[in-house]
Structure 1
Amino acid sequence: MTRLSGITPSGHAHIGNHLGAIRRWARQGRPGDLYFVSDLHAMTVSYNPARLRKLSRELLAVLVAAGIEPDQVFVQSDLVREVGALTWVLECACSFGEAARMTQFKQKSEGQGMVRLGLLTYPVLMAADILLQGAAEVPVGDDQAQHVELARSLARRFNTTYGEVFTVPEAVTPPTAARVRDLSDPGRKMSKSTQDSAGVVFVLDEPDLIRRKVRRAVTDSLGRVEYRPQEQPGLANLVEILSACVGKPPREVVAGFSSYGELKEAVADAVIEELRPLRERASALLADRAELDRIRKAGAERATERGAHRLSSALRLAGVG
């Protein structure tokens, strides 16, 4: 049973991505699971082509450096011909109403001067990613569950109308992970695409920079070192990061501290050590261009081979293959 997960290179990977997804993929992934860098998804809003290419390579290196098996990773755009062809077939099976009612499209298009068509059709591209690889399970949060439901609808519609080709995927809820907030504004989630990186700890940040960011993290003036997420969100965010790094419950890890400064030093130490092996391995991969290119090429070949029969069958049954 194939489980498929993707991550978009909309910015540098941060500690929240690592603790919430990448580390779990490396530790709990099963043989047959697939992980991909969804660089085509990053094109639905304004972007810089050179930066996108660089971020895609960097994120691929991070996935492999985290411990995910190289034969389980690939970059989406390396299958652009295959996924593009299947996207068109699925778009022709999808109604405008189905695409337009996607919640993320409504949210992201609001207030934009120019709304790219790709933002509207992106869920169909996501469906093509899923169906091409024959994924049976797609771990997603609440914000993506609607997109998996569209993939299910399109798979059933194609199978019923033209012939059985696609596995009908299931959305699965991943294990609860730390919801890391921005260190400078705990009212918002840490984000790869934020314009202000002062409160974002990136996985490739140097130790000294990590420590400075943690030391400057927003807390409060109460002076009480307790785990109270509602009353002290900034402090709770630091506690939750420490908890995720050391593998102990938040109320347990907070008990040994008497000051915010002491807690921040412990958080900085834990994050630095958590990220050290990942940063070192990723940096080595990025420095060895030939090896990273080899991993990427092999991943593309395997992903293409996995989807070849489904694509050719879909095209033939749709009358164009």
Structure 2
Amino acid sequence: MKKQVLTGIKPTGRVHLGNYIGAIKPALDLAQNEYSETAYFVADYHGLTQIHSCEEMKELSYCIAATWLALGLDHEKAIFYRQSDVPEIFELSWILSCFAPKGLMNRAHAYKSIVESNQQIGKDLDTGVNMGLFTYPILMAADILLFQTDLVPVGKDQVQHVEIARDIAGNFNKQYGEVFHIPDYVIQEESAVLPGLDGRKMSKSYQNTIPIFEEPKKLQKLINKIKTDSSLPKEPKDPNSSIIFSLYKEFATSVQIEDLKEKFHSGIGWGEAKKELFHVMNAYLEEPREKYYELMSSPKLLDEILEQGALKARAKTIPFLEEVKQTIGIHRSSRI
């Protein structure tokens, strides 16, 4: 029996290497597995918690769609859709909210982070918190559970969202029986927390990201900013503690990885190591980058692909939502 895989990315900024290595790459790898059914989505309503500009929302949503396609997503084989085109997600979100304890939402990382920050600077604890942000994990649970998802590829910082979906599904199932699948997450352990330019977790909030389709000259400049230690050229270096090596092995062949590892042990200079990283990254991303910009110049094509995907998505979500509604004693009249 095939397992359902689902993952999405919200349009709140340019897609960066952390997005690619934490979610996109493992999701696309699972698509090659003959035992998997795959669904990918542009999480535009999730983005609404932060993006309140019409034009920015449109542009960033197209960016996410073009990124998936440029990196190899086959929209003919997978279900590829825009979250806002599948209204069943939002109906299920309300149902799930009635099984989601407030205490569980209080513990969600994004909300806790803002509360703790406000506390430190003496502001009201909920300053800057909208209800979309507070209930964000419930909407994500709806994304996951509506597709009866088995596996969710995520970065380590997103694991909690899958765990919350599991908790909410468990609460529902305890009351009504085994209606929802209990999902599991998939992490690339070696890249669980990808370091950014400054050594902290790569995140748009830290402004330490490397956009995946940055043009070559800017890409090289960003790579040159990567934080390194004070070891001198010709001094042996530990590849396992190097941001440069962590990024390098995501784009290089096994032969290239072993070669650079040997150079680290022999005392490669940091400048030379950064050049090596730029060459493998640029070579790997050159073709996808070109395809990305072609797609971004064709928004009508992106709309067509996403709309076709929404039809396939709704073929799954409509009947399952009806099953959920009948389970709780609410169902649509056949006369409507």
Q: TM-score range by the shorter chain?
A: 0.7 to 0.9
Q: Does 1:254 align with 2:264?
A: yes
Q: Among 154, 176, 181, which residue is 1:167 paired with?
A: 181
Report deviation, 1:163: 5.2
Q: Where does residue 92 of structure 1 map in the other structure?
A: 98
Distance 1:123 1:215 in 2: 37
Report deviation, 1:134: 1.0
Q: Secondary structure in 1 aligned to 2:48? A: helix
Distance 1:217 1:149 in 2: 33
Q: Does 1:313 align with 2:319?
A: no
Please list every run of 5 or more consecutive structure 2 residues that lacks an aligned counterpart in the other structure: 119-125, 332-336
Q: Deviations over 1:157-179 (max 9, x none)?
A: 33343455322223344453374
Q: Among 13, 17, 20, which residue is 1:18 paired with?
A: 20
Q: Among 60, 63, 70, which residue is 2:68 paired with?
A: 63
Q: Where does residue 48 of structure 2 map in the other structure?
A: 43
Distance 2:18 2:164 in 1: 27
Report deviation, 1:203: 1.5
Q: What is the 5 A alignment of 1:209-248?
A: 209-224=218-233, 226-228=236-238, 236-247=242-253, 248=257
Q: 1:258 to 1:148 in 2, by over 3 A?
A: closer
Report deviation, 1:202: 1.0
Distance 1:213 1:102 in 2: 32
CA contact (8 A) 1:242 1:253 kept: no
CA contact (8 A) 2:23 2:155 kept: no
Distance 1:320 1:207 in 2: 55
Q: Deviations over 1:110-165 (max 9, x none)?
A: 32623111222111111111111110222334433333233223323333434553
CA contact (8 A) 2:152 2:185 kept: yes
Letter in 1 for 2:26: R
Q: Does 1:304 align with 2:314?
A: yes
Q: Does 1:192 align with 2:204?
A: yes
CA contact (8 A) 1:163 1:317 kept: no
Q: Where does residue 146 of structure 1 map in the other structure?
A: 160
Aligned residues: 311
Q: Where does residue 263 of structure 1 map in the other structure?
A: 273
Distance 1:89 1:167 in 2: 16
Report deviation, 1:210: 0.8
Distance 2:319 2:179 in 1: 9
Which stretch shifts more, 37-46 or 239-248?
Answer: 37-46
Q: Secondary structure in 2 aligned to 1:57? A: helix
Q: Where does residue 146 of structure 2 map in the other structure?
A: 132
CA contact (8 A) 1:133 1:307 kept: yes
Q: 1:200 to 1:169 in 2, by over 3 A?
A: closer
% identical equivalent positions:
32
Q: Secondary structure in 2 aligned to 1:148? A: helix
CA contact (8 A) 1:227 1:251 kept: no
Q: 1:60 to 1:226 in 2, by over 3 A?
A: farther
Distance 1:206 1:42 in 2: 25
CA contact (8 A) 2:93 2:138 kept: yes
